[in-house]
Amino acid sequence: MKLAFNPASPYARKVAVVLHETSQIDDVEFSEVVLSPLAPDAETAQKNPLGKIPALERPDGVTLYDSRVICAFLDERAGSGLIPSGARRWETLTLEATGDGIMDAALLVTYEARLRPAELQMEPWTDAQWDKIMQACTALNTRWMSHLAGPLDMGQISVGCALAYLDFRHDARGWRKGHDALAAWYETFSARASMQASRSPEA
Ligand code: BEZ
């Protein structure tokens, strides 16, 4: 299988962490793609009409996207139970959506600062994205700690990769403030071999 990815992408990192955690890392060839909303990659667009990474090309020629679909596929392929059945399934998927939502908002903040000319940047809009991130961190810190402390699942992986991206691109904003329990959880989670092996490049 061939994975179109970028080492800075938190969505691609989710996939890399799942590959490590489920011992499928050697089944995938990593193909690094450099792209942005203003500079799409033609080859990626042929595989994913949305032009986004990660995209996983299977040997049968089918390309899977986005990261949620790829991770669900890899989980089923390995029979690893990262997306459990029963009541915990819906909690796990909601937690994954929370982590992915943090990534979505954080990426918009990144793009606003990096891609939009300074005179067109809108601070209230950036602040609104950051508010979403802080609200999500507060919900994780108050309502999700017992789930986060449970067996490894897709929700934890998404949240771990989202927090890592906040450190990577938005460290100065200080997401840990007021979120002590979440910060302590992340300290342990980020030490996992899968997280260390998939570290983002230096900012
Ligand atoms: C980044 O540089 O932050 C980035 C690059 C590719 C995808 C997502 C994020």
- pLDDT digit string (tens) for 138-180? 999 999 999 999 999 999 999 999 999 999 999 999 999 999 9
Query: Which CATH architecture group holds 2-78?
Result: 3-Layer(aba) Sandwich (3.40)
- Write the CB contacts of 35 (distance below 8 Å, at least 6 apart in sequence): 6, 41, 44, 51, 53
Residue nearest ligand 1's atom 9 by CA: 9
Alpha-carbon span 163 to 166, nearest angstrom: 5
Burial class (CB in 10 A: 0-12, 13-18, 19+), 126: middle
- Return the domain boundaries, the chain: 2-78, 87-192
Contact predicate 175/163, CB 8 Å:
yes
Radius of gyration of the chain from its Cα atoms, rounded to whole angstroms: 17
**Nearest atom of ligand 1 to the alpha carbon of 168:** 3
Query: Which CATH architecture group holds 87-192?
Result: Up-down Bundle (1.20)
Alpha-carbon span 124 to 77, nearest angstrom: 44
For position 90, what pLDDT does the model report?
A: 97
Tokens of 106: 């954080």
The residue length of the chain stands at 203
Calculate how far, in angstroms, residue 85's C-alpha sits from the geometric centre of ligand 1: 32
Tokens of 121: 């940047």
Three-state DSSP state, 6: coil
Share of residues in the chain with pLDDT > 90 (%): 98
Ligand 1, pocket residues at CB < 6 Å: 6, 8-9, 107, 110, 169
> In the predicted model, is pLDDT for residue 101 greater than 90?
yes
Calculate how far, in angstroms, residue 14's C-alpha sits from the geometric centre of ligand 1: 13
Q: Calculate the dihedral angle through the C-alpha atoms of 157, 162, 165, 169, rounding to the nearest 10 degrees.
A: 180
Calculate how far, in angstroms, residue 151's C-alpha sits from the geometric centre of ligand 1: 29
Calculate how far, in angstroms, residue 191's C-alpha sits from the geometric centre of ligand 1: 22
pTM of the model: 0.97
Average per-residue pLDDT for the chain: 96
Residue nearest ligand 1's atom 7 by CA: 9
User: How far apart are the two ends of the chain, measured CA to CA in Å?
Assistant: 29
Structure confidence by residue, pLDDT tens digits, 111-138: 999 999 999 999 999 999 999 999 999 9
Structure confidence by residue, pLDDT tens digits, 41-63: 999 999 999 999 999 999 999 99
- Write the CB contacts of 17 (distance below 8 Å, at least 6 apart in sequence): 157, 160, 161, 192, 194, 195, 198
Calculate how far, in angstroms, residue 8's C-alpha sits from the geometric centre of ligand 1: 5
Alpha-carbon span 88 to 83, nearest angstrom: 8
> In the predicted model, is pLDDT for residue 203 greater than 60?
no
Structure confidence by residue, pLDDT tens digits, 71-99: 999 999 999 999 999 999 999 999 999 99
pLDDT band at 202 (very low <50, low <70, confident <90, very high): confident
For position 200, what pLDDT does the model report?
A: 82
Contact predicate 54/65, CB 8 Å:
yes
Residue nearest ligand 1's atom 6 by CA: 9
